[in-house]
Amino acid sequence: MKIAVLPGDGIGIEVTAQAVKVLKAVAGREAELTEGLIGGAAVDAEGVPLPPATLELAKNSEAILFGAAGRAGDELGPRDKRPGGGLLRLRRELQLYANFRPAFLFPELIGASSLRPELVEGLDLLVLRELNGDLYYGEPRGISIGPDGRRHGVNTMRYSEPEIERIAHVAFKAARGRKKKVCSVDKANVLETMVLWRETVAAVGKEYPDVELRHLYVDAASMELLRAPRQFDVIVTGNLFGDILSDAAAMLTGSIGMLPSASIGEGNKGLYEPVHGSAPDIAGKDIANPIAAILSVAMLLRHSFGRNEDAARIEGAVRKVLAQGYRTADILQPGMNKVGTVAMGDAVLTALG
């Protein structure tokens, strides 16, 4: 198993170290791990957030385990030196267009959710975010001086039919393995790009008569996510709305520190990362929750290598440490055993048996 390990910045470094520990314990010598630079660390060392060597490494690997990219004040620097840009280029260069962000509630964490227990009990939904298009990559873009002598900012929301079709197929197929419900989220009441989105998803939906399809505008969808989140199974949406809704969905489960994600394309190759970011404010303090990164390893083993048993073993170990009362600060509740990043990683290792 050729795996690139890209810890990146901030807590990405700490949580990836715990994830690697778990990966090594499960896969042993079969895992051939190679570390690479990305994000702010790469900007410091090489002047760019995605050095050519890292792109090569990622291209030659079967899977990529990613930590986080970004540092405080990033938005102030030039665009080609922004740490997050390394991740964005990687997603696009490798054509990883389907981003799976499952949000499920561990029963042990029901009291840690920001919603009342009766609203989130049994919550299990999937935000499927398109990852290669939309305002993130659309041209023209930039800040320029307008005819009035003042600065104007432009970004372009852009989607083609083929781009929408391929993510829609992924959504309907994913729903078939779940509760057979797809909710497509757009803003078709205002934006032409989103009219195309809605029409195209509906057309693809005809090929999946066994899957229920409905459409929601993004404002209504965010309201429903907070009002009655269990109505959702698969939420399929564009890059920007998916970025926002997946953070919101994550909080329903207790902490964004719990949730893994997978970004995949046509083959088995995938990039696996915690949904959370680099959290510069808590970096280097041994308090970050490594569970999202550890569960990303489970997704990696399942999607890229078909090692379902190993994945289930890791997920089972996480369940066990939660049942044993181990909690990092973000999911701490009265009477629980507060641990740091490394100790949580160790607890999962022990629970693997």
The single residue of 44, 80, 173, 219 carrying the catalytic annotation is 219
* Residue with nearest beta carbon to ligand IPM: 84
Residue 210 is a catalytic residue: no
Residue 247 is a catalytic residue: yes
d(CA 92, CA 310) in angstroms, rounded, equals 29
Residue 3 binding ligand IPM, by CB under 6 A: no
Residue 128 binding ligand IPM, by CB under 6 A: no
Strands, sheet with 181-186, edge to edge from the N-terminal-most edge strand: 32-35, 2-8, 63-68, 270-274, 260-264, 98-104, 124-130, 234-237, 181-186, 212-217
Out of 22, 50, 64, 87, name the contact with ligand IPM by CB under 6 A: 87
- Cβ neighbours around 146 below 10 Å, total: 10
Give a three-class secondary structure readout of 91-105: HHHCCCCEEEEEEEC
Please identify, using beta-carbon distances, which residue of 119 and 244 lies nearer to ligand IPM.
244
Which entry of ligand IPM, Mg ion, none binds 87, CB below 5 to 8 A by partner kind?
A: ligand IPM
Residue 134 binding Mg ion, by CB under 5 A: no
d(CA 218, CA 341) in angstroms, rounded, equals 35
d(CA 253, CA 127) in angstroms, rounded, equals 13
Pick the stretch among 3-11, 14-22, 80-88, 211-219 that binds ligand IPM (CB under 6 A).
80-88
Which entry of Mg ion, ligand IPM, none binds 51, CB below 5 to 8 A by partner kind?
A: none
- Sequence-distant contacts of 319-325: CB under 8 A, at least 24 apart: 319/106, 319/108, 320/351, 321/347, 321/348, 321/351, 322/106, 322/108, 322/109, 323/108, 324/351
The single residue of 9, 74, 134, 187 carrying the catalytic annotation is 187
The single residue of 9, 134, 136, 186 carrying the catalytic annotation is 136
Residue 219 is a catalytic residue: yes
Name residue 124's beta-bridge partners. 104
Residue 293 binding ligand IPM, by CB under 6 A: no
Pick the stretch among 18-26, 83-91, 116-124, 332-340 that binds ligand IPM (CB under 6 A).
83-91
Please identify, using beta-carbon distances, which residue of 24 and 81 lies nearer to ligand IPM.
81
Residue 134 binding ligand IPM, by CB under 6 A: no
- 54: helix, strand or coil: helix
Tell me the catalytic residues: 136, 187, 219, 243, 247
Binding region for ligand IPM (CB under 6 A):
69-70, 84, 87-88, 243, 277
